[in-house]
Amino acid sequence: MHLPLKVHRIREENSTFRTYIFKHDLRAKPGQFAMVWLPGVDEVPMSVGWQDKDEMWIGISKRGDCTTAIFDQIKIGDRLGVRGPFGKPFELKEGYKKIILVGGGYGTPPLLFLAKEAREKGMEVVVILGARSPEHVLYEKEFAGLGCEVVNSANHNGKKGHAIEIFAERMEDGKVDCVYTCGPEKMMVKVAEIAQKNGVDSQLSLERHMKCGFGICGQCCIDGTGARVCKDGPVFSGKQALSLEEFGHYTRTGSGKRIALE
Ligand code: FES
């Protein structure tokens, strides 16, 4: 059932990305998602980017019919239908001392929520942010405000893949207990491979087309495994993800048509 949640604030992060802030505790954990419904248009899965007892943040990029309609129609004080939280969250194991987060562009929001929890548990958190241009980097100030060490790779020289180079160097710096990543799948493949090569666990969040959001419709099944991204994910270990034939290669539209990932 949808909760008709009133939009309390809207942050314009850039021309194609906004953070919608609700005064509501959905009791989400980092890595979980909510289904966001604009009546008469559609419903889309969105990661929870922040949750405390007062506020929930959902970051929305303008890239399809539903999200474009949300950008065009929803103002402060309007309501969106929200149901959730759904899915498996990131796991922060007791005893972790240092973790690295690698965020790619608009995939970054769930990592902000994860950073908050990790810092509350006293962990050292290094955040490497990549994006195709500096204005597409999200939440740099918020990560820094949590006490994370933030490396904005888009500020270095903007060259493609620079976040991965920085990440690979940082993995050699010393003991890292786990690596977490969310962003373009080709980037996440590289992060998971580098972590594996260094003998470090990794976790990542997959995005697939969803309908029910809780494991009954089959819309989000991964080829050859039966794994449902909405229920068995969206968070998978890097090892699990690297064993999936479609990881980093293709996804599917709502009608099931395969589309290659760039
Ligand atoms: S969206 Fe229905 S099974 Fe995943």
Question: Quick one: 254 and 169 in the same domain?
Answer: yes
Instruction: Give the pLDDT confidence of 241-254 residue by residue, as tens digits.
Output: 999 888 888 888 88
For residue 70, the CA-to-ligand 1 centroid distance in Å is 23
Query: How many CB atoms sit inside 10 A of residue 179's CB?
Result: 26
Number of CB atoms found within 10 A of residue 56's CB: 26
Is the Cβ atom of 230 under 6 angstroms away from ligand 1?
yes
Q: What's the pLDDT tens digit per position in 132-156?
A: 888 899 999 999 999 999 998 876 6
Confidence of residue 160 (pLDDT cuts 50, 70, 90): low
Residue 24 shares a structural domain with residue 76 = yes
Average pLDDT on 29-53 reads: 95
Domain count, the chain: 2
Going from the Cα of 172 to the center of ligand 1, the distance in angstroms, rounded, reads: 39
Residue 11 lies in a domain: yes
Quick check: is 165 in a domain?
yes
Query: 228 and 187 share a domain?
Result: yes
215 and 123 fall within a common domain: yes
Average pLDDT over residues 190-208: 96
204 found inside a domain:
yes
CA 219 – ligand 1 centroid, Å: 5
pLDDT in tens, 73-85: 999 999 999 999 9
On the question of a cis peptide bond just before residue 85, with omega within 30 degrees of 0, the verdict is: yes
Does the beta carbon of 224 lie inside 6 Å of ligand 1? no
Could you tell me if 140 and 128 are in contact, meaning their C-beta atoms sit under 8 angstroms apart? no
Domain that holds residue 66: 3-86
Residues 179 and 60 both lie in one domain:
no
Assess whether 43 and 143 both reside in one domain: no
The CATH number assigned to the domain holding 22 equals 2.40.30.10
Give the residue, 204 or 258, on which the prediction is more confident. Answer: 204
Flag whether the pTM goes above 0.85.
yes
Judge whether 208 and 251 are in contact, CB under 8 Å: yes
Q: Which atom of ligand 1 is nearest to the CA of 212?
A: 2
87 lines ligand 1 (CB under 6 A): no
The answer to whether the CB of 217 is under 6 A from ligand 1 is yes
Q: Give me the sign of the Cα torsion angle 2, 51, 241, 17.
A: positive
Q: Is 79 exposed, middle or buried (0-12, 13-18, 19+ CB in 10 A)?
A: middle
Residue 92 lies in a domain: no
Decide: residue 124, CB within 10 A, 0-12 exposed, 13-18 middle, 19+ buried.
middle
Q: Is residue 91 part of a domain?
A: no
Q: In terms of domains, do 149 and 231 share one?
A: yes
Q: Percentage of the chain surpassing pLDDT 90?
A: 79
Assign residue 94 a region (left: φ > 0; alpha: ψ between -120 and 50; beta: otherwise).
beta
In whole angstroms, give the CA distance from residue 225 to residue 96. Answer: 30
Boundary residue ending a domain (86, 117, 138): 86
Which of 23, 53, 86 is the C-terminal boundary of a domain? Answer: 86
In this prediction, residue 141 carries a pLDDT of 96
